[in-house]
Amino acid sequence: MRDPKDALVLLLAGGIGSRLNILVGHRAKPAVPFGGLYRIIDFALSNVMNSDLTRVGVLTQYKPLSLMRHIGTGEAWDFTGRTRGVKILPPRTGEKDSDWYQGTADAIRQNIDFIQANPSEQVVLLSGDHIYQMDFDAMIAYHCHKKADVTIGMMVVPKSEIHQFGAGIVDSENRIIDWEEKPEVPRTNLASMGIYVFDSEYLLRVLARDKQEIDFGMHIIPRGIEEDRVFAYPFYGYWRDVGTIQSYWQTNMDVILPGSGITPEAWGIRPNTEADGRPMDRAPARFLSGCSVQSSMVSAGSCIEGTVINSVLSPGVQVKKGAVVRDSVLFEDCVVDEGAVVDLCIFDKSVHVGAGAVVGHGENLEQANQAFPKHLYTGITLVGKKAQLTPGMVIGRNCIVQPDYSGSDVLKLDDGQSL
């Protein structure tokens, strides 16, 4: 038997992530910035690195360029060397839509040659869009101990949320005996985390068996439970799917909330500070006379003259004198001019808020966005990359300002509207 640390990792990073709205308009969901310094995919890549696994294939599809630039050679996560490496695996795209990945199993099936070229006893399948810390080496050891064909990382979630996940019913040995994919009326609160360990020979066999089986949760896993040995690996730590605006915002807030369970630095999560040709390893942040910062993360290169409360600021953010940023997430190089107010917002990169403008105005947090009522409904306002908000502009709750917007007139954008 090979060393379990020799397992091959396949990281699924091709989903559209459309519920994140304009944050994924020009980038793949795993490439969305998170927590000031990171991208979402940094958590999966760092978990792989910290588990001493060294061979990774990243399956991309939707708007992959920023993700590919971010991963680069893999050097940031120590994936360079004679026996180490990370390879980008795009779809084998032809002229038909069917040439794109049709589901999770189809994505792996299209890359069977990569699995065969990197022989291993186990294949670890991961999603690139979750925030968590996990020791995959321990999961592989558990998989081997159980003599499992498939082992699925699973955790308890509230039954009110189980409809978002695949759900497993287990016996006293943690063997999965029944499966429900996104059940409306759940019989269990044990949810799949989208983390799998397969015996390599078994995986290749089931992928070759039926080309119509295109999804693990819908096809491969239910059949495996009936015919083979499928076990649940219990997970008790912090794990979040940041696939919605609300969950993305809340998980960022957890980074600055004491006792929330998420501590990226202590977890050993590593960003790529050299990505995109602009080093994020900038000079220290500056806090000028008269500023006030409470319960916030302020990244390097930022300059704070005003007030920052309960917010996460990426590198290079400027908050000018008299400005207030509250309950917000600001990406790299945003500027909030004198006297402006930013309240319960998410800003993409290089947004400029003019003097005296208000973004996130009013008390009506529950009037959903008119165009995207399932995306924005808790008061959060989104502002796209490089948007220029003119002095005195007033923007309400659950609003969307499109990337590159540059308004010439002062206006009020009422709750739930878009520019």
Do 238 and 318 reside in the same domain of the chain?
Answer: no
Q: Which residues pair with 166 in a beta bridge?
A: 181
pLDDT at 4 exceeding the cut of 60: no
Question: Average pLDDT in the 346-360 region?
Answer: 97
Contact present, 227 and 147 (Cβ < 8 Å): no
Do 235 and 291 reside in the same domain of the chain?
Answer: no
| Biggest alpha carbon–alpha carbon distance for the chain | 69
| 38: nearest Cα among 133, 118, 113, 112 | 133
In a domain, 272, yes or no: no
Do 413 and 331 reside in the same domain of the chain?
Answer: yes
In a domain, 78, yes or no: yes
In a domain, 273, yes or no: no
Question: Average pLDDT in the 395-417 region?
Answer: 80
In a domain, 266, yes or no: no
Question: Average pLDDT in the 53-72 region?
Answer: 91
CATH of the domain at 374: 2.160.10.10
Q: Which residues contact 266 (CB under 8 A, 6 or more apart)?
A: none
Domain boundary among 207, 236, 255: 255
Model confidence at 2, in pLDDT bands (50, 70, 90)?
A: very low
Contact present, 362 and 396 (Cβ < 8 Å): yes
Work out the mean pLDDT of the chain and round it to a whole number: 91
In a domain, 319, yes or no: yes
pTM (2 d.p.) = 0.93
Do 60 and 182 reside in the same domain of the chain?
Answer: yes
In a domain, 274, yes or no: no
Do 325 and 395 reside in the same domain of the chain?
Answer: yes
Do 85 and 165 reside in the same domain of the chain?
Answer: yes
Q: Give me 255's structure tokens.
A: 């980074």
Domain count, the chain: 2
In a domain, 260, yes or no: no
Question: Average pLDDT in the 368-376 region?
Answer: 92
Do 107 and 171 reside in the same domain of the chain?
Answer: yes
In a domain, 262, yes or no: no
CATH of the domain at 70: 3.90.550.10
Domain boundary among 220, 255, 290: 255
Residue 76 burial (C-beta neighbours within 10 Å; 0-12, 13-18, 19+): buried
Do 358 and 399 reside in the same domain of the chain?
Answer: yes
Question: pLDDT tens across 172-192, in order?
Answer: 999 999 998 888 888 899 999
Question: pLDDT tens across 271-286, in order?
Answer: 998 766 555 668 999 9
Domain boundary among 239, 255, 271: 255
Question: Average pLDDT in the 107-115 region?
Answer: 92
Do 294 and 411 reside in the same domain of the chain?
Answer: yes
Do 55 and 153 reside in the same domain of the chain?
Answer: yes
pLDDT at 154 exceeding the cut of 90: yes
Q: Which residues pair with 57 in a beta bridge?
A: 10, 87
Question: pLDDT tens across 85-106, in order?
Answer: 999 998 765 545 556 777 888 8
Contact present, 345 and 312 (Cβ < 8 Å): no
Question: Average pLDDT in the 277-304 region?
Answer: 89
Question: Average pLDDT in the 215-228 region?
Answer: 90
Do 237 and 353 reside in the same domain of the chain?
Answer: no
Do 241 and 320 reside in the same domain of the chain?
Answer: no
**Domain span including residue 76:** 4-255
Order of strands across the sheet that contains 394-395 = 292-294, 307-309, 324-326, 341-343, 358-359, 394-395, 412-413
